[in-house]
Structure 1
Amino acid sequence: MNNATNRTIDPSCRDKPPLAIDIIVNLDIFGIILYSILTFMATVSVLVYIEECIYIYRKVPSNKKSVIIWVNGAAPVIATMSCLGMWIPRATMFTDMTSACYFAIVVFKFLVLMLEEIGGDEAFLKRAGKHKLKISTGPCCCCCLCLPYVHITRRTLFLLKLGSFQFALLKIVFTILSIVLWTNGTFDLADVSVITGAAIWINPFVGILTIIALWPVAIMFMHLRVALRTIKIVPKYAMYQLVLILSQLQTAIINILALNGTIPCAPPFSAAARGYMLSQQLLILEMFIITLVTRLLYRRQYDPLPVEKVDDNENTKMVAMPESA
């Protein structure tokens, strides 16, 4: 029975991802049009990003230039890496890791961006002197409503920054480690069935680091979203979250479906390679749209924020501390 089943499986379904030249040779008319359009989208994303960098360099205050350029680059970088992975399937692991490392830095940079938009660390501490932070927010503790409110101090701010910075640092460290183990033949993204495999230990640990890093950003956003509403911080945060969901969660779901056989192989692509290919193509389209939206959000006049008015009856921008505190 097993022998009969094995004879019906195309040998290419068990092969490694095809070479770039094999893809080019086997492209039909639809494939040529699809690859051309997606490559054009990735190229336009990069060009739009370069134009936006020039605008930011000329119009934005110096303390915000670097962080805004970093945050704006998330979608174009992912689109570019996805385009390379689409044309060179055997490089998909490296392109995905490059995108993930860049976004790990963006997580920290978005936290810094909110602080810079409020005026920097000192301005944030000054404005937040009579408030407390609510830490029962996602993705870690959205259900833990009993958690106490936290005083906003330099130590609290340092811990928030550290919580996001650790991901930017450790993600790069684990990526380098994964590549080293891959060259030794002990790291395989598709092999998660063996408990001794490196991927089954590294990937969940990186996932935990991701959740820890997203928590401080969510805490800061929840307490600055009203103060920063004039600079459209809510749609900016939505775009940041959308990039996270599409580049991480969507990709993971498609790859799991491919590994389980839900997505069948299509020679010259194995099931896993086809899953990666579909993921790359979707990301190019999605990141192209996000690049255009973020350009509209960040292309504005960067005027100072108005001074916060002291009003106990207003819709508070943060959580007010009791008078006894």
Structure 2
Amino acid sequence: MGFLVPLFFHIVAFICTIAAIALAVLHIYRHLLNYTEPTYQRYIVRIIFMVPVYALMSFLSLVIPDSSIYFNSIREVYEAWVIYNFLSLCLAWVGGPGAVVISLSGRVLKPSFCLMTCCFPPIPLDGRFIRKCKQGCLQFVILKPILVVVTLILYAKGKYKDGNFNPKQSYLYLTIIYMISYTMALYVLALFYVACKDLLQPFNPVPKFIIIKSVVFLTYWQGVLFFLAAKSGFIEDADEAALLQNFIICVEMLVAAVGHFYAFPYKEYAGANIGGSRGLTASLGHALKLNDFYHDTVHQVSLALHVLSVVHGQC
């Protein structure tokens, strides 16, 4: 009986993983064939790639548990990448940071209990607000790979184990750092959406926000809850918690792959001639090229350093 349960998990996870990857690849292929608005679709393709990455890494973690930390690390780095690309997509929809600032000129984000800004004065929707939103996402994209490297080093030294909340182990502290960085990234996304809701309305942003936030949010917190359940005795141990986490993600990715077809339909780009035809390979190359991220990071870091230098000069 002990053998049959893992075997059942592996079979179901394998079927869901193959189906999710097949649907995602088909979806990406359709976008690349109709790559008529590269400014938007490069981000959409990157977001859809989340499904194959999550599904494959989770399945490999399930069947090769001894190497799961390496597979999970790849999945977690891509998680940060998805958040950055989603904000970039939203900015592209509304014409870029400059267009947003002009459109929102003179407006403020009123104090709100739901947004946890009730104790603060109204937030001006200006260039500084947009910059803070971008920096809030970028800090997670940059910090996450650093945390992964630190995790792998500590794991090699026997100082890290998933689900081990012992203060003498590093899992607890890395989880706290990750949670703060991750929460900040999702929070600025929420602020940006509320501020630009009217501008984003023509692009039907609600299902897109829901599927991105649900996948990223649920995959993280359900893992923490499973490990807490193992610590509390509701689940046998951390290894079983990890098994359940990876199994459920494989199943969830099949749901996410279907959801992406609805949230990011390729048909709205089919037949348009806005960007012209690039060819399948050229379209894929454009989507995977990281020059936009590089320039964005350099720009935001330069602005942050400039502000610090000004503040230091005034002091």
Class of the TM-score when normalised by the shorter of the 2 chains: 0.7 to 0.9
Alpha-carbon deviations, 1:259-299, whole Å to 9, x = none? 332112xxxxxx22111111111111112111111112211
Alignment of 1:191 onto 2:164: yes
Shift of 1:209: 0.8
Find 1:301's aligned residue among 255, 268, 272: 268
Matched residues in 1 for 2:196 and 2:96: separation?
13
Shift of 1:204: 0.5
**Could you tell me which residue of structure 2 aligns to residue 217 of structure 1?**
189
**Could you tell me which residue of structure 1 aligns to residue 34 of structure 2?**
59
Equivalent runs, 1:25-174 vs 2, <5 Å: 27-28=3-4, 32-60=7-35, 61-134=37-110, 136=112, 142-174=115-147
Amino acid at match of 1:301: E
Amino acid at match of 1:177: V
Residues 132 and 162 (structure 1 numbering): CA distance in 2 closer, same or farther, change over 3 Å?
A: same
Q: Is the 8 A contact 1:74 1:103 kept in 2?
A: yes
Matched residues in 2 for 1:134 and 1:53: separation?
39
Return structure 1 stretches of 4+ with deviation > 4 angstroms: 30-34, 134-138
Matched residues in 2 for 1:85 and 1:113: separation?
31
Q: Is the 8 A contact 1:79 1:287 kept in 2?
A: yes
The TM-score with structure 2 as length reference comes to: 0.78
Q: Is the 8 A contact 1:239 1:294 kept in 2?
A: yes
Shift of 1:244: 2.1
Matched residues in 1 for 2:215 and 2:80: separation?
12
Matched residue pairs, number? 267
Matched residues in 1 for 2:259 and 2:6: separation?
28
Shift of 1:75: 3.2
Amino acid at match of 2:160: F
Alpha-carbon deviations, 1:232-273, whole Å to 9, x = none? 210110111211232111111011111332112xxxxxx221
Q: Is the 8 A contact 2:162 2:238 kept in 1?
A: no
Question: Where does the alignment leave 5 or more consecutive residues of structure 1 unmatched?
Answer: 1-25, 265-270, 304-325
Q: Please say which structure displays the higher CA radius of gyration.
A: 1
Question: Where does the alignment leave 5 or more consecutive residues of structure 2 unmatched?
Answer: 273-315
Indicate the larger mover: 97-106 or 53-62. Answer: 53-62
Shift of 1:208: 0.7
Find 1:235's aligned residue among 187, 207, 219: 207
Find 2:239's aligned residue among 261, 264, 273: 273
Alignment of 1:292 onto 2:264: no
* Secondary structure of 2:108 counterpart: strand
Amino acid at match of 2:193: F
Q: Is the 8 A contact 1:137 1:215 kept in 2?
A: no
Matched residues in 2 for 1:69 and 1:58: separation?
12
Shift of 1:215: 1.5
Indicate the larger mover: 217-226 or 150-159. Answer: 150-159
Matched residues in 1 for 2:73 and 2:153: separation?
13
Amino acid at match of 2:47: V
Q: Is the 8 A contact 1:68 1:113 kept in 2?
A: yes
Shift of 1:224: 2.5
Amino acid at match of 2:122: Y
Q: Is the 8 A contact 2:98 2:127 kept in 1?
A: no
Residues 137 and 128 (structure 1 numbering): CA distance in 2 closer, same or farther, change over 3 Å?
A: farther
